[in-house]
């Protein structure tokens, strides 16, 4: 969890595999674009910073966070050569239970994709109470969750490669 003492964007490149030979998919929710675009840019830049190649990154957009699961599933089927996928979304709590339903469905859906497919999917969906909390975690005072998801994606891509039988 991001706090004032834990900036999500700080990483040690010496502990991260070189991303040069990996291919990544990034699915971005169009809902709350100020937030999701910030996380996309953080993820993209972190992959490049760790040796990734721009041409090895595929981006798709979906309307909202609920649609991330379907987009990830289709990307897994369409791009079987991908090494990892990052699902980027932002759900901000409102006055109805819609927030709870979208967050739970998206979380469970991405978990199911990880259980059913050989291509790991990183959960980069902010579930904040306020817009300010989302801003703080998408390039603000708490760093950028997209950067964190990219680092995890690189590490999972390496694990996927190493665990091949």
**Domain ranges, ordered by start, for the chain:** 39-52+61-160
CATH code for the structural domain at 39-52+61-160:
3.40.50.960
Cα end-to-end distance, the chain, whole Å: 35
Chain Cα centroid distance, residue 89:
8
State if pTM tops 0.85: yes
Which residue carries 């004032």 as its tokens? 4
Mean pLDDT, all residues of the chain: 94
Q: How far is CA 114 from CA 7, 142, 145, 160, in A?
A: 27, 27, 19, 12
> Residue 161, CB half-sphere, CA atoms under 13 Å: how many?
16
pLDDT bin (cut points 50, 70, 90) of residue 1 is very low
Integer Cα distance of 108 and 55 in angstroms: 30
Give the C-alpha separation, 116 to 4, whole Å: 36
Confidence band for 120, pLDDT divided at 50, 70 and 90 = very high
Residues 65, 125 contacting (CB under 8 angstroms): yes
Tokens standing for residue 29: 């929710």
Question: Residue 53's CB: how many other CB atoms inside 10 A?
Answer: 14
pLDDT tens profile 56-110: 999 999 999 999 999 999 999 998 899 999 999 999 998 888 898 999 999 999 9
Any idea which residues carry the catalytic annotation? 98
**Is residue 62 within 8 Å of residue 29, measured between CB atoms?**
yes
């Amino acid at each position: 969890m991001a706090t004032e003492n834990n900036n999500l964007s700080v990483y040690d490149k010496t502990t991260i595999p070189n991303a040069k030979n990996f291919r990544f998919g990034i699915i971005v929710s169009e809902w709350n674009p100020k937030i999701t675009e910030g996380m996309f840019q953080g993820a993209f830049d972190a992959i490049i910073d760790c040796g990734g190649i721009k041409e090895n990154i595929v981006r798709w957009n979906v309307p909202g966070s609920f649609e991330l699961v379907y987009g990830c599933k289709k990307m897994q089927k369409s791009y079987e050569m991908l090494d990892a996928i990052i699902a980027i979304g932002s759900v901000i709590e409102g006055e109805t239970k819609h927030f709870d339903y979208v967050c739970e469905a998206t979380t469970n859906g991405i978990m199911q994709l990880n259980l059913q497919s050989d291509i790991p999917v990183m959960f980069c969906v902010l579930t904040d109470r306020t817009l300010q909390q989302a801003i703080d975690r998408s390039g603000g005072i708490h760093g950028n969750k997209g950067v964190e998801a990219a680092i995890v994606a690189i590490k999972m891509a390496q694990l996927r490669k190493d665990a091949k039988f």
